[in-house]
A and B are shown apart, each in its own frame.
Chain A
Amino acid sequence: QLQLRESGPGLVKPSETLSLTCTVSGGTISINTYYWGWIRQAPGRGLEWIGEIFYSGTTYYNPSLKSRVTISIDTSRTQFSLKLDSVTAADTAVYYCASGLFDSKGTWGQGALVTVSS
């Protein structure tokens, strides 16, 4: 059974880069029908799609975040990663990695809280 787990710093300073990694276990990351995505949820708020990547490396980003986001994939390490540049307090959120079809994600990680604060 596919499992995902987010990892990375829980505290990031304003203007710095947020970096998270999602490790995939129980399956292959090179499934040619699956997309690997990042979704975040600010405290007390709803879900926000950040973007996703196909195993081939093709990426899709939320237009509102596109200038600051990079999603990459390492098939040899069965991991995919998120980088968000120039963070502010507004980027404080629980960040989830998830997998599935482009528009629907059946498997989610537990979530990682990232706080932006000096």
Chain B
Amino acid sequence: QSALTQPASVSGSPGQSITISCSGSNSDIGGYDYVSWYQQHPGKAPKLLIYDVTNRPSGVSDRFSGSKSGNTASLTISGLQAEDEADYYCSSYTVTTTKGVLFGGGTKLTVL
């Protein structure tokens, strides 16, 4: 199983919008609507932001949104705030010999 591909870093200014991409294959992102996104601040556990491509858990700001096209999923953060500076990880359901979960390599978001 190869990790999903994310850009190593992205940046944006407060108030702007940014998008983080996550590329996979027909065996994961392209084959199922089971993509999730997590936010991780230094020294903290990951926090679920998006599940099933577009759904937000209760309590997650609507500034976070997810989408998918083909084998690539995206996380968009609108109205960037300083506290959004963190690492972001995508994940996807995958099936090879059995079902499993793949994570992306992570993207460091810097708020300028």
Partner-B contacts on A (CB < 8 A): 37, 39, 46-49, 51-52, 60-64, 96, 100-106, 108-111
Contacts and interface: CB of A to CB of B under 8 A. Distances in A.
A16 B104 CA distance: 29
A1 to B, nearest CB: 11
Given A46-B103, A49-B101, A101-B51, A106 B46 contact: no
B36 interface: yes
Contact of B100 (A46, A49, A104): A49
Interface of B: 1, 3, 34, 36, 38, 45-48, 51-52, 57, 89, 91-93, 96-106
Interface centre among B93, B97, B98, B100 (most CB of A within 10 A): B100
Contacts of A111: 45
A-side interface mostly = strand
A37 B38 CA distance: 15
